[in-house]
Amino acid sequence: MTEQEKALRVLRDKIDTIDQEIQVLLNKRAECAQEVAEVKESFEGKQDAVFYRPEREAQVLRRVMERNQGPLPAKEVARLFREIMSVCLALEKPMRVAFLGPEGTFTQQAAFKHFGHSAVSAPMNVLDDVFREVEAGAANYGVVPIENSTEGMATHTLDLFRRHNVQICGELELRIHQHLLVAKNETATPITKIYAHQESFAQCRSWLESHYPDAKHIAVSSNAQGAKRVMSEVGAAAIAGDMAQDLYDLDIIERNIEDLPDNTTRFLVLGKQHVGPSGDDKTSLLLAAHNKPGALYTLLEPFHRHGISLTRIETRPAGQGAWSYLFYIDFEGHCDDDNVKLVITELEQQSTELKLLGSYPKAVI
């Protein structure tokens, strides 16, 4: 045995021992999670027990990141713990998570980022079905896009919050890399048409104008849908991400064609439960104002007075005659906080409609 082989043997023996210890500890943790499930069932009832606890998961992940000393980066260790909690939760009860399909969309990627890979992902044909599945209890949770750093709000998603009774249970951000994809072995064929979701065309507008100014743009319901179509089409390309490229076995013409280098989408997690405070939370509200001068000021002033920071405000037509509006407001804090309770009570008097969409932990990873 050479000196190098000897040194490697010693280190690999060490790794084997550590792996064994990790494995024992992982199973000990899983046993604890199983006991947690029994406690929940005995106190809340077998049917009503709430297994997924976003506030607890956020606290676990934040603590993992805070105490991390390296050499592994804190985000990577948190990602590993994300998967550990995912398998532990699946032992308690596998979670069915609805998303806009088919398989391979950025939303599916977001669902796995948030719930880990032990979640069962359920593709839906349209966004409305994601809300409906959750509302009907057919899916435990749903994941929907809400805003993109290049293109702004997903207004269709906002409008669906008014129509459905669901709660926001969480949020997450996903860095979006768009690729131009073609069918296997078709990289040399000239491209005459490009499939993509409207939003993706917008995120890649300048790149497409400069590289494919004459190609026809065909809008599809999701990028994965476009990727699926080009599998069997010659002269056609799709704009989609890594997951769709891998799943539909497409060749990449060009990677990362998004115009802005930090193109990121924020997603919301839909559920039916009240999420307890995690210590660093956001709350979302939908408000309708009286159609009179100063109405918006009246709605926003209580936030200032009670020292609450707004993180987003979005206006949408109320759909009840011209020029009446709904406001979607995100702010820091939890609806169980005293100052938030006071603001909500005041707003109930000032507004014509108030819907508390949910309080949830701020995105951790």
Ligand X SMILES: O=C(O)C(=O)C[C@]1(C(=O)O)C=C[C@@H](O)C=C1
Q: Residue 269's closest CA among 45, 47, 34, 55?
A: 55
Stretch touching ligand X by CB under 6 A, among 53-61, 175-183, 258-266, 324-332? 53-61
Q: Decide if residue 55 touches ligand X (CB under 6 A).
A: no
Stretch touching ligand X by CB under 6 A, among 88-96, 113-121, 163-171, 197-205? 88-96
CA distances from 20 to 28, 29, 221, 315 (A): 12, 14, 47, 55
* 99, 122 contact by CB (below 8 A): yes
Round to whole Å and give the CA distance between 332 and 283. 6
Write the single-letter amino acid at 268. Answer: L
Q: Decide if residue 52 touches ligand X (CB under 6 A).
A: yes
Contacts of 103 (CB under 8 A, 6+ apart): 121, 123, 224, 247
Q: Judged by CB, which is closer to ligand X: 118, or 256?
A: 118
Nearest residue relative to ligand X (C-beta): 88
**Directed axis angle between helix 127-136 and helix 155-163, to 10°?**
30
Q: Out of 58, 61, 78, 89, which residue is the one contacting ligand X (CB under 6 A)?
A: 89
- The single residue listed with the structure tokens 């088919």 is 102
Round to whole Å and give the CA distance between 355 and 162. 8
Q: Decide if residue 312 touches ligand X (CB under 6 A).
A: no
Nearest-approach distance from CB 22 to ligand X, in angstroms: 16
Q: Decide if residue 58 touches ligand X (CB under 6 A).
A: no
Nearest-approach distance from CB 329 to ligand X, in angstroms: 27
Q: Out of 61, 62, 78, 92, which residue is the one contacting ligand X (CB under 6 A)?
A: 92
Stretch touching ligand X by CB under 6 A, among 48-56, 237-245, 271-279, 349-357? 48-56
Stretch touching ligand X by CB under 6 A, among 4-12, 83-91, 170-178, 190-198? 83-91
DSSP state of 186: -
Q: Which residues bind ligand X (CB under 6 A)?
A: 33, 36, 51-53, 56-57, 60, 85, 88-89, 92
